[in-house]
Chains A and B, each alone.
Chain A
């Protein structure tokens, strides 16, 4: 079966949003892990602007 141009257009937008949403989720997970590790080591939450 021959794919129509619409199939390629839809594929492009699906790929774009899978990448963006996937990377968003990955970034957020990494940030949460980093904050948890910082809190475990220092006993307080990051973001107070302290130099370590």
Chain B
């Protein structure tokens, strides 16, 4: 397959604008709900309210990188450019929420641990994950040939996504400062309901972001194909 053989289907906008508005509205609603209804935690006090943004941000980050893994493998298997663009969209959104997770963790860490940052297993592995996907995005910006860009970034995306289980298990494998993952049994119902509700609505927002970023990238590529065809005098 050559670069010119790649084709891109221009995605339909459909009801995505409405989906986005509803997703944002739902996220606002669940954040207000959890903020207002959850009582101060015995140990953390009001700081527990940070968990309704920090934990869902981390979970949706994992979802984004799972999407990168699936569509990168699919691109390498089938060679469809749409799969590469979708993986790239998910990588960008994942990197945004990865950065947000790190910042929120620091904001929580300062009052809870007394430091903004400590080189312990969870924080360090999450930072490494962030840097891998920043590298992924930088790589895409520097490689012009779409086929090569897709293959190289798929390789980096797969390697980056394979880091996710390390981040997830880091608190179990190396028991340092970051707390162990909480389960529904550990938490009072009011806390996990708020956390789960925010996870669901933040996932919807992330789905919207990935779709919009994919749509923009696919339209740009379709325009490039059309310009190329016009320059060659073709009539595809």
Chain A interface residues toward B at CB < 8 A: 3, 5-6, 8-9, 11-13, 15-16, 19-20, 23-24, 27-28, 30-31, 33-35, 37-38, 40-42, 46-52
Contacts and interface: CB of A to CB of B under 8 A. Distances in A.
Contact of A34 (B99, B111, B219): B219
Contacts of B74: none
Given A8-B47, A8-B108, A42-B226, A49 B103 contact: no
A35 B219 contact: yes
A17 to B, nearest CB: 9
Interface stretch (B49-57, B136-144, B159-167, B172-180): B49-57
29 contacts: A5-B45, A8-B110, A9-B46, A9-B47, A12-B104, A12-B108, A13-B49, A15-B100, A15-B104, A16-B57, A16-B104, A19-B100, A30-B213, A33-B216, A34-B216, A34-B220, A38-B219, A38-B222, A38-B226, A41-B226, A41-B230, A42-B226, A46-B219, A47-B11, A47-B13, A51-B7, A52-B8, A52-B225, A52-B226
Contacts of A8: 47, 50, 107-108, 110-111
A51 B230 CA distance: 15
Contacts, number: 108
Given A9-B49, A15-B103, A52 B216 contact: no
B10 interface: yes
A46 B10 CA distance: 7
Interface in B71-99: 93, 96, 99
Contacts of B100: 15-16, 19
- Interface residues on chain B, size class: 35 or more
B31 to A, nearest CB: 7
Contacts of B50: 8-9, 12
Contacts of A35: 219
Interface of B: 7-13, 20, 24, 27, 31, 35, 45-47, 49-50, 53-54, 57, 93, 96, 99-100, 103-104, 107-108, 110-111, 205, 209, 212-213, 215-217, 219-220, 222-223, 225-227, 229-230, 236
